[in-house]
Chain A
Amino acid sequence: MNLRFSSIEGKSRGYYTAVGILALLSIMGCLGFMVSYIKGHQVFGSSNVIPWGMPIVIAIYLIGLSAGLHILAFFIHILGRKEWIPIIRMAVFMAIVLIFGAMVSIALDLGRPEKSWRLFMFFYLNNMTSMFAINAIFYPCYLAAASIYLMMLFADNEKLSKIMGMVAFCWAMLTHGGTGLIFGLIDSRGPWFSALKPFEFIMVALTSSLALLVVVMIVTFYLTRRQAREELVTSLGKLVAGFLCGVILLIWISELSHGYKPDNGASIFMLSGPFSWIFWGFQVFLGEVIPLFILFHPRLRKTVKGVATASVLIVIGVFFERYYLVIPGLAYPQSYFPGKIEGGYGAVGSFPITAIETMISIGMFAFMGFLFILGLKYLELLPVDESGRQTPEPAKKA
């Protein structure tokens, strides 16, 4: 194929402004982390009822956004869908940045992050029956596999790209399944315990990551004065629509299995409890119903704007899906003894939004953006079409 890749020049005022703002926000997040490290987790919204807060929500969200991007590699190398080659480098780079961000985010939620090396002392100082310890194998190896894959893409080595693409793809599935099992294996938490969790996570990952890719591609192409080809966007839109149906199916089977059994308090709590507006409003309506409507609408699904809108909504909806899983999922009070447990021990947990946690959360996203736009400048990620007729036109110098 007559396809070359280039980096952006990155000397415009807009670029420097973006780098500056993202760097500042990242530093702010870093300061937030330092405060939380010195003052302890009292500056977070977490408590003994809801021990995990925003950093964990963000971590599983970022893992989701990253792990699915390799499905493109699968389509390109195994199914021969060559039309997606122009965006594969960007997709893989995004995956690397996001999984790195996810790992940082998990470290930010640790009470004693300086001891996190213990997680990597496999079979010696760590406990391999813990999903955390097993995921400590999955995440770094996934990062490494994706990095090698990107290198092979840079080297234009087709054979090795194919092999590494597959390795990275399989590892991405393991990574995401493993993340789902962190939740799915916990018997004592009614809203979580489910064998479907790994599959649900994989499906959500595929959907949200492709949706994010659509958004990032359109924004990046627009800002670098490339043209996002309509067929490319709409074909990705079709993939997203398919995966979104899978997500809805799995989530509802999971809810049904929780709600059908006699002990269905957890399911009722999740579907109609005090937090359920997040589920119905953000996750279902904003993140599933509207995007599905757009992606199956005969006219809208064929427009860049339509697919882009649906993708933005999915990216937002999946964030709330993660939030809803972690925070209300933990807020459901445990039944230690039959009857109504009086006082705080039987009350639904609350999760106040705190300044430091918000700083860290914004800082995390800014850090991802910062790494990504640096990558655009220093790595040849964006496609150049020499014919200049279709995607994308050679970047015009600003």
Chain B
Amino acid sequence: MVIDLDKCVGCQACSTACKAENNVPHGSPDEQRLRRDIYWNKVIAVTNGKYPRVNTELIPMPCMHCDHAPCVTVCPAKATYRREDGIIVQDFRRCIGCKYCIVACPYGARSFNSKEQEEEEYHRHDLPPDRNVWGQWPFPTRTHGVVEKCTFCFHRIDQGIKEGKKIGKEVVPACVEACPAEARKFGDLDDTRSEVSSLLSSRGWIRLREELGTRPKVYYLLK
């Protein structure tokens, strides 16, 4: 995924679309205060300088789906693993809720589901974990006591591949689709003809916390 920081206006459409798409509970102000709210995608604001000479960067942060993902290394139950296409998924059925992955993740991309959510929070019953591996998700709702995170909407990607659609053009994750400024682009980084590859070759880019060597697959184009 490539995110153009020049285009991002910080409208949070990506966060909202993610919640709607993936049955992510909406949370409450209290949970927000206690930092127990579940976000698969968040937008942080980073300021540098002092008023009046101040600059604010808006950084949308989904899961970085790192090549060297610390969460995959530390998960004792193989609940978090890398699919062949590089997406890091979280299997709620395997997760024992030890939270070691939340501790190890350098991007705060993971959230713990700390309560039984209202039934209305889960309106889509056809969602992760990986249906290719496990068949249809057997429970009508997700359970508390497990860790959740962004899946790059792999259910969309899998469905798209099955239907022969072009990934990155006809099929994209919900956050990419919802972005009004088209700041997010999704595609195959290994494919030199993909839009994401051409974007990366045309502009200067960074990845977050590069010094940790996690090799994230979310790239940020600089302003």
Q: What range describes how many residues of A lie at the interface?
A: 35 or more
Verify A341–B44 contact, CB threshold 8 A. Answer: yes
A397 at the interface (CB under 8 A from B): no
Residues B22-51 near A (CB distance < 8 A) = 32-37, 42, 44-48
Complex CA distance for A375 and B77, rounded to whole angstroms: 35
Verify A127–B105 contact, CB threshold 8 A. Answer: no
For A389, the chain B residues whose CB sits under 8 A away are none
A76 at the interface (CB under 8 A from B): no
Instruction: Contacts A41-B114, A339-B57 given; indicate if A111 touches B144 (C-beta within 8 A).
Output: yes
For A352, the chain B residues whose CB sits under 8 A away are 34
Instruction: Contacts A40-B113, A118-B94 given; indicate if A52 touches B103 (C-beta within 8 A).
Output: yes
For B183, the chain A residues whose CB sits under 8 A away are none
Question: Interface stretch among A7-15, A141-149, A185-193, A311-319?
Answer: A185-193
Instruction: Specify which of B34, B56, B72, B104 lies most central, judged by the most chain A CB atoms within 10 Å of its CB.
Output: B34
A118 to chain B, nearest CB (A): 4
B99 at the interface (CB under 8 A from A): yes
Verify A188–B78 contact, CB threshold 8 A. Answer: no
Verify B77–A127 contact, CB threshold 8 A. Answer: yes
For A260, the chain B residues whose CB sits under 8 A away are none
Among B61, B75, B98, which residue has its beta carbon within 8 angstroms of that of A110? B98
For B95, the chain A residues whose CB sits under 8 A away are 111-112, 115
B168 at the interface (CB under 8 A from A): no
Among B32, B37, B76, B212, which residue has its beta carbon within 8 angstroms of that of A188? B212
Complex CA distance for A46 and B61, rounded to whole angstroms: 22
Provide a sorted-by-A list of 27 A–B residue pairs whose CB atoms are within 8 angstroms. Answer: A39-B116, A40-B115, A42-B36, A46-B99, A47-B34, A48-B108, A48-B111, A110-B97, A111-B98, A111-B144, A111-B145, A112-B143, A115-B96, A118-B76, A119-B76, A125-B94, A189-B103, A330-B103, A334-B106, A334-B107, A336-B59, A336-B106, A337-B44, A337-B46, A338-B46, A340-B48, A342-B47
New A-B contacts (15) at CB < 8 Å, excluding given A113-B97, A336-B108, A339-B57: A40-B114, A41-B97, A42-B115, A47-B114, A110-B98, A111-B98, A115-B77, A115-B94, A115-B97, A125-B94, A127-B78, A336-B107, A336-B208, A337-B44, A344-B35
Which B residues form the contact surface with A (CB < 8 A)? 32-37, 42, 44-48, 56-57, 59, 61, 70, 72-78, 94-100, 102-108, 110-116, 143-147, 208-209, 212
